[in-house]
Chains A and B, each alone.
Chain A
Amino acid sequence: MDVTSQRTGGALIVSVEGRVDGANARKFQKAVESVIDDDDGAVILDMENLSYISSAGLRSILLIAKGLQKRNSQFAVCSLQDAIGEVFRIVGFDKIVTIHSSQGEAVSAMGS
């Protein structure tokens, strides 16, 4: 699991790579929080290179989203691989987390 970030337009793009499971979900959450804490704007979690996420990882995303909600920052995820999209759909989180098909789409949606 690897977390990197870059600023594009009005949003901070946080990219996660590899697997997020019970063993590293907390590490993942801390890594994301440490980059978004330096910022006060919108956050896009890019999952293009995320190959697997367990329920513990989904919980971390909820906690990240909750933290952003508290400081009134927009949050979205983008570029989900098919299997990850399916996990979001089954658990029903596609209804509570904004999902965009690409980073570009997410950035322009955030800008408006």
Chain B
Amino acid sequence: MNRPYKILVVDDEPDLEPLMLQRMRRHIRAGRYSFVFARNGLEALDRLNEDGDIDMVLSDINMPQMDGLTLLEQIPKVDPNIRSVIISAYGDMKNIRTAMNRGAFDFVTKPVDFKDLQITIERTLAHMMEWREALSYRDKLVSIQNELEVASRIQQSILPSEFPDDLRYQVYGNMEPARDVGGDFFDIMLLDEGQIGLAIADVSDKGVPAALFMMSCRTLLKGVAIGLTEPGAVLGEVNDLLHEDNETMLFVTVLYAVYNPATGELTYASGGHDPPLLIRSDGSVSLLPLTDGIALGVVPELEYKQHSITLGPGDTVVLYTDGVTEAQNTDGSAFEVDGLHQIFAGSSAYLKAREGTDLVFEKVREFMGEASQFDDITCLTLHRDN
């Protein structure tokens, strides 16, 4: 602090003022302390209100109009961060106890030993500075927390909330974030010739850097997908763009698929992402083969292979992130791919996209019980209508 600490001295004895200024002159000259004076509690309150920059109060107890003990009760109403020290008669334990109970930080006794007083002032000021620092850290934390909440809301708001309305197929996705910002997203893009692009992605790690990485990944993917039709080429392009200047080694696993509603053909490429689940209309469940791609953002100039399947009427494909398969219950065991299989094994051809996604969330939550959620949980379901 550059300005001197401002100390308000409250005493009805007029002698104290010149004495204090004289005994503390070195500290005043050095710019360490400055003093203001009041003759009773009322005057002191006026000074506190008018000056607004008083750091500590040094007050006598017995004074006309308003005594020191009453003043002690009033000070926090002006500023709860001001610290007070009481000057009392030697051995007046009753008043000293009352003063301490009313929030005095310390006391000195009359006749005032100025050397002792100076130590007491320093101790009080040191305590006050620590307190102020703690308060400012708390304020900073609160503001960071607020920013994180904003980031988390942005993350939610970029997810599609409307889904294509088409008689031939349905798509429905949902994402439930864990406590920290960052992580998963999904996207649905309307492409040329009536095709649709479906993306699901999981950024490594959490926090603001991961959230920013996620936002740029999502934007790049959207931009590239509109220009390129082959999923493998899309991932290759996004991978190169993400890799530039990626010193942080953040990476993202992406499954990107293009669906043609006219033919039922689904072509997908995986950049290190979990394989989708295929539920045929007869109730048989299988994992689609991986295309051996590496997560995006780590190694440049990769070629991403793609794979095609044809969805028959009533077939369903479920895309998910590892927040689903790695969800843990209270015993510490994971939901696993088996859990997903079990949800859908034997389910009928009437399973719709929204039902599929909702069912995954319902079953995962049921499995987790009271256990906490460590990762974002995301699921995107495509269903070809009969």
A positions within 8 Å CB-CB of B: 21-23, 25, 54-56, 58-59, 62-63, 66, 89-93, 95-96
Other-chain contact of A22, B205, B251, B274 (Cβ < 8 Å) = B205
- Whether A55 contacts B205 in the complex (CB less than 8 A), given A91-B294, A96-B294, comes out as yes
Q: Cβ of B271: which chain A residues have Cβ within 8 Å of it?
A: 92
Chain A interface main SS type: helix
- Whether A91 contacts B249 in the complex (CB less than 8 A), given A55-B322, A56-B206, comes out as no
**A96 and B251 alpha carbons, distance in the complex (Å):** 13
- Whether A92 contacts B292 in the complex (CB less than 8 A), given A54-B375, A62-B249, comes out as yes
Check B249 against A90 for contact (C-beta < 8 Å): no
Say whether B55 faces chain A, with CB atoms less than 8 Å apart.
no
Check B298 against A56 for contact (C-beta < 8 Å): no
B positions within 8 Å CB-CB of A: 180, 202-206, 249-251, 253, 271-275, 290, 292-295, 298-299, 322, 326, 374-375
Q: Cβ of A54: which chain B residues have Cβ within 8 Å of it?
A: 326, 375
Q: Cβ of A66: which chain B residues have Cβ within 8 Å of it?
A: 249
**A10 and B251 alpha carbons, distance in the complex (Å):** 32
Check A59 against B299 for contact (C-beta < 8 Å): no
In the complex, number of A-B residue pairs with CB atoms less than 8 Å apart: 59
**A60 and B274 alpha carbons, distance in the complex (Å):** 20
- Whether A96 contacts B202 in the complex (CB less than 8 A), given A90-B272, A91-B253, comes out as no
- Whether A96 contacts B206 in the complex (CB less than 8 A), given A21-B374, A90-B273, A90-B274, comes out as no
Chain B interface main SS type: loop
Q: Closest CB of chain B to A87's CB: distance in Å?
A: 8
Check B205 against A62 for contact (C-beta < 8 Å): no
Check B298 against A62 for contact (C-beta < 8 Å): yes
- Whether A95 contacts B204 in the complex (CB less than 8 A), given A63-B249, A90-B272, comes out as no
**A93 and B202 alpha carbons, distance in the complex (Å):** 15
Q: Closest CB of chain A to B239's CB: distance in Å?
A: 11
Q: Which chain B residue shows the least CB distance to A59?
A: B204
Q: Cβ of B290: which chain A residues have Cβ within 8 Å of it?
A: 89-90
Q: Closest CB of chain B to A99's CB: distance in Å?
A: 14
Q: Closest CB of chain B to A88's CB: distance in Å?
A: 10
Check B205 against A92 for contact (C-beta < 8 Å): no
Q: Cβ of B253: which chain A residues have Cβ within 8 Å of it?
A: 55, 90-91
Q: Cβ of B205: which chain A residues have Cβ within 8 Å of it?
A: 22, 25, 55-56, 59
Q: Cβ of B295: which chain A residues have Cβ within 8 Å of it?
A: 91-93
**A1 and B281 alpha carbons, distance in the complex (Å):** 45
**A93 and B302 alpha carbons, distance in the complex (Å):** 13
**A31 and B326 alpha carbons, distance in the complex (Å):** 25
**A109 and B364 alpha carbons, distance in the complex (Å):** 43
**A54 and B206 alpha carbons, distance in the complex (Å):** 11
Check A55 against B204 for contact (C-beta < 8 Å): yes
Q: Cβ of A95: which chain B residues have Cβ within 8 Å of it?
A: 292, 294
